Structure 1
Amino acid sequence: MLQRIQTIYLLIAVICSAGLIFAFSLWENANGVEVYAQDHLTILAMFLGSAALSLISIFMFKNRKLQFVLGRLNILLNFFLLGVFVYWSLRLPGEMDISEKGIGMILPIVSIVFLVLANKAIKKDEDLVKSVDRLR
């Protein structure tokens, strides 16, 4: 059913991964130029891949186990994206490339939080269905 709470959580994750990356900069370089996700193809692909997994997961409501697995894969993808951001921000000493970090670097964390909440709700639904099946 689409009217479950996990749908709301997954929609918020889609908005974080696909919509807000164009509004918030990832960082500002030493020249004062803001760098967005669309400036780096790999970062853009990972953000859009995360959004696609969340969107696919919304419509997998009939197969809760697959929906749960897609949520876990999406969490792993966002952790990898967060690791890339940490690596890029710490690899160069001083003010060579990344001068000031933007709010776009924390978008994977927000997405992870909502994906964990969605997986928790999916697991709760699965446990409810199993308990009802035992009664029959």
Structure 2
Amino acid sequence: MIQRIQTVFLFLVAVAMVLEVSFPIWEQFNADQTQMMVLSAWSLDTLDVQTNAVLASENKIFIALLAILSAGLAVFSIFQYKNRTKQMFLNMINSIALVVNLALIIWTSHSANQVFNPTEDGTFVFGFYAIFGGMIMNLLANRFIRKDELLVRSVDRIR
């Protein structure tokens, strides 16, 4: 049924992915604090700190596409409540997409850090932590779907 707790968790996965797309993921200042590099789900921008002007921009749309895919899978999974095994399979694929998204973000931020300011580490900000929220909510949703499936199987065995 659609009013189960896993529906809330899957909705929160979609919300977390929208937050990832909406907020910056990683920030780094150069050694003399005059320039700043910001990674969002859409691009990797180099900004002038004083004027806030974009000096350079690299397209990183693959991060946003994976986040949108994860949000779409979560919403689609909500409406697959009649087929719990399919719902668990969709959530497994969503978990893989979330892990790949996280790995791409870490790889992108690490390689940008090596070019921009290798002496100091950048800072992960709100968009990065939204992914972890989405991962946790996805795991909780899968747990409760599995719990429902086991309950239905035990009731069928009694008949």
* TM-score strictly above 0.5: yes
Matching residue's letter, 1:69: F
Unaligned runs of 5+ in 1: none
Q: Supply the distance in 2 between the matched residues of 1:134 and 1:50 (Cα, whole angstroms).
A: 35
- Flag the 1:124–1:74 CA change in 2: closer, same or farther, 3 A: same
C-alpha separation between the residues in 2 aligned to 1:116 and 1:99? Answer: 29
Quick check: 1:95 aligned with 2:117?
yes
TM-score by length of 1: 0.89
**TM-score normalized with structure 2 length:** 0.77
Q: Which has the higher helix share?
A: 1
Residue of structure 2 in register with 1:130 after alignment:
153
Determine the structure 2 residue equivalent to 1:25: 24
SS of equivalent to 1:82: helix
Q: Is the 8 A contact 2:66 2:97 kept in 1?
A: yes
1:90 to partner: Cα distance: 2.3
Q: Deviations over 1:85-108 (max 9, x none)?
A: 121222342626x84322212222
| 1:97-135, Cα deviation, whole Å (9 max, x unpaired) | x84322212222111100000000000000000001011
Q: Does 1:5 align with 2:9?
A: no
CA-atom RMSD in angstroms:
1.8
Structure number with greater CO (CA < 8 Å, separation at least 6) is: 1
CA displacement at 1:47 relative to structure 2: 0.3
Alignment of 1:31-110 (within 5 A): 31-32=35-36, 34-39=38-43, 40-91=60-111, 92-93=113-114, 95=117, 99-110=122-133
1: CA distance between counterparts of 2:21 and 2:96?
22
1:35, distance to aligned residue in structure 2 (A): 3.4
Q: Does 1:119 align with 2:142?
A: yes
Question: How far did 1:42 drift?
Answer: 0.4
The 8 Å contact of residues 27 and 125 in structure 2, kept in 1 or not, is answered as: yes
Q: How far apart, CA to CA, are the structure 2 residues paired with 1:32 and 1:88?
A: 16
Question: What is the CA-CA distance between 1:6 and the residue it aligns to?
Answer: 0.1
Moved over 6 A (4+): none
Change (3 A) 1:41 1:23: closer
Identity %: 31
